[in-house]
Amino acid sequence: MQCKRLKITGVVQGVGYRAWAKRLADMLNVKGYVRNMPDGSVEMVVCADEKIVNVMINAAKKGPAASVVKNVEAFDIDFQPKEGFEIWM
């Protein structure tokens, strides 16, 4: 299982990004979390097989309809995920 930390910037808070990410992660059986960051970005940690992680990265670049994603940076991360995908506050 591969884990990546994504930093998503643009208009990504207040547009349903976290709920959208959770729905997609649950459909793909991805483990990890998503949360809003103080700088206006969204942080997402995704853990799954490499192909599914890449699907999540590509989806994150588009985001939900109300978002305007400017950039997605992906970093390798050593993370021990719990079961499921959570929205962190």
Residues annotated as catalytic (active site), given as ranges: 18, 36
Cβ–Cβ < 8 Å for 30, 47: yes
Rg (CA), the chain: 12
CA distances (Å), origin 69, targets 26, 39, 48: 21, 15, 23
- The number of residues in the chain equals 89
What are 1's strand-pairing partners? none
